[in-house]
Chain A
Amino acid sequence: MSDTAILTQALTKNYGRVQALRGVDLEVNQGEIFGFLGPNGAGKTTTIRCMLDLIRPNSGTLRLLGLNPQSDPVTVRAKVGYLPGELAFEGNVTVEGTLRYLASLRGNTMDWNFVRQLAERLELDLKPQFKNLSKGNKQKVGVVQALMHRPELLLLDEPTSGLDPLIQQEVLKLIREARTAGATVFFSSHILNEVEEMAERVAIIRKGVVVETAEVNSLMRRSVRRAHIHFEQAVEVNGLKNIQGVTILSRAATSINLQIEGGMDALIKSLAKYPVRDFETERPSLEEIFMAYYEEK
């Protein structure tokens, strides 16, 4: 069995003259939680929908769990749990009816006690009709149906969208539990704190191209950070200007604000000759890194 859960190479998809995907390359390992970042229209949903053979790419290679979704869509989908960006279903059917119908599409092979357990943990009432559900409750139905058959691969499009903070945490817990049980999780999100908290690796997609794939930690390490240094007395800090990767953003008589790209070692060594009273560094959030990709590239 392949160690790669998701592989896309040079994946393209056009809608008429609009190029939704312009060569997406992704490699997601089995058992990892992988975040997929990008603003609306960047190609996140299109990529996920290609993976499920809901839409057909114009070119490129696509493999899920070692299988080609175009030639073997039923086997792929049997192993996958999918949460669409916006869940829709027939309005007159109850939540339980909806889940039972969806379960029947999987041959009724899942443990219904587990389904009830999931619903209880998400405080989802199974009795109301789908049309009477709030956006948050519809999202809960989506999460339950994606997890109920204990899939090998979870494709989640904005999994916590519309949920209150407590339920958001419960959903993230369920996702972690699925991963612990061996599932691979591929999720797109706008909530960057959530991605930072959940994902081991992320890919950033921009205008149909993946512009960065990296471990969250390394992405943050590699990125620009800021330092605020306070001195015991007024000092001349011209020496700091010559350190590679260091830019002086502002200075006052007894303090200085710097921007540092790369390692801090040279800066710290240079600071040894100054009477430093306080040294603060500010790690950028994933959101700032994400925004930087959109502003610079």
Chain B
Amino acid sequence: MLTEFRNTLRRSRGAIIGWGLSLGALGYFMMGFYDTLVEQRSSLEQLLANYPPEFMAFFGSTEDMFSPAGYLSVEFFALMPVVLGIFAVTAGSSLITGDEEGGILDLVMSYPVNRSSLFFGRLLGFAVTLAAILGITWLAFIGGVAASEGMDIPPVELMRPFINLYAVIFLFGTASVLLSMLMPSRSIAAMLAGMLMVASYFIQSLSTINDDLKRIADFLPLKYYQSGYALEGLNGDWLVGLFGFGLLFAVLAWALFLRRDIRVSGEGNWRLPFRLSFGKK
């Protein structure tokens, strides 16, 4: 398990550095604009009032975007489940089936490694990769807060929305791992997980202005995502729920992996029960 964990981390180091530094740089510079934003509050409020509510719905509540929590939500955390979610679903779908489709798993699984060790070693590597990306970003945020005059958030409080964000992207990641065990190929699993994630984002965002969508949004993970408002305190039940479903998806994926035929070159793929044909007969 330790070998697979280390190997997964080694393979993810580029992603950790790339995503971590990019998001960190974004966060750091974003903090610098907070003071300016507060200074120009009245003109910005006027500007925001002119935007259609359908557009503003995607930024969360803008009523208090001049508070640190509101600002972090609108400028960063509202979009992050989708931005970092793209990494999570791509990495999640590749966690097992990437190597399987590349023929690497065929060799690795011929070694004395049991399936559970391989699965959980990789899953742990994936979980730590996500934590490392958010950890680097959090450190950059701490730097940004220190450089800002108007922001005064202790590092531990600043960690809260990152924990909340971690729970959501971990859930998207494990859902993608599960789909990769169910779908005929890694790319279909990633596509489906990505579609579910984006649809979830749209429905949750628009549910703030549409009552019909509210009922659907209750079943979506982003409903239980607090965004930047987690600064004011984490909702323990929601957090446990998000982590709980993330772990449930991981356990289901593991159970499927235990029973799985390791594929090579498309061997053992299931197919659609009908033929898709375009144009030619």
Q: Which residues of A contact B (CB under 8 A)?
A: 15-16, 45, 49, 52-56, 73-75, 77-78, 80, 82, 84, 86-90, 101-102, 104-107, 145
Contact = CB atoms under 8 A, between A and B. Distances in A.
A106 B264 CA distance: 23
Interface stretch (B102-110, B138-146, B207-215): B102-110
Interface string B105-122: 011111111110000000
Interface residues of B, number: 24
A74 B261 contact: no
B237 interface: no
Contacts of B110: 52, 54, 77, 80, 82, 84
B266 to A, nearest CB: 10
Given A75-B112, A77-B113, A84-B110, 7 more contacts: A16-B271, A54-B262, A55-B268, A84-B106, A87-B107, A89-B104, A105-B111
21 contacts: A49-B262, A52-B110, A53-B109, A54-B109, A54-B262, A56-B259, A74-B114, A78-B112, A80-B110, A82-B107, A82-B110, A84-B106, A86-B103, A87-B103, A88-B107, A89-B104, A89-B107, A101-B3, A102-B107, A105-B111, A105-B112
A279 B28 CA distance: 93
Contacts of A105: 3, 108, 111-113
The dominant DSSP class at the B interface is loop
Nearest to B7: A101
Contacts of A45: 264
A77 B262 contact: no
B103 A84 contact: yes
Nearest to B106: A84
B63 interface: no
Contact of B261 (A55, A84, A90, A101): A55
A77 B112 contact: yes
A49 B267 CA distance: 12
B107 A55 contact: no
A54 B106 contact: yes
Contacts of B112: 74-75, 77-78, 105-107
B270 interface: yes
A45 B264 CA distance: 10
A218 B3 CA distance: 48
A88 B268 contact: no
Nearest to A90: B104
Interface string B240-265: 00000000000000000001011010
A78 B109 CA distance: 11
Interface of B: 3, 7, 11, 102-104, 106-115, 259, 261-262, 264, 267-268, 270-271
B174 to A, nearest CB: 23
B111 A106 contact: yes
A56 B258 CA distance: 11
Contacts of A73: 114-115
A74 B261 CA distance: 16
A42 to B, nearest CB: 14
A89 B11 CA distance: 13
Contacts of B268: 15, 55
A226 B111 CA distance: 48
Nearest to B110: A82
B262 A55 contact: yes
B270 A104 contact: no
B199 to A, nearest CB: 31
B114 A84 contact: no
* Residue of B11, B102, B267, B271 contacting most chain A CB atoms (<10 Å): B267
Nearest to B105: A54
Nearest to A101: B7
A54 B3 contact: no
A45 B261 CA distance: 13
B70 to A, nearest CB: 43
Given A84-B103, A104-B3, A52 B270 contact: no
A49 B259 CA distance: 15
A75 B111 CA distance: 10
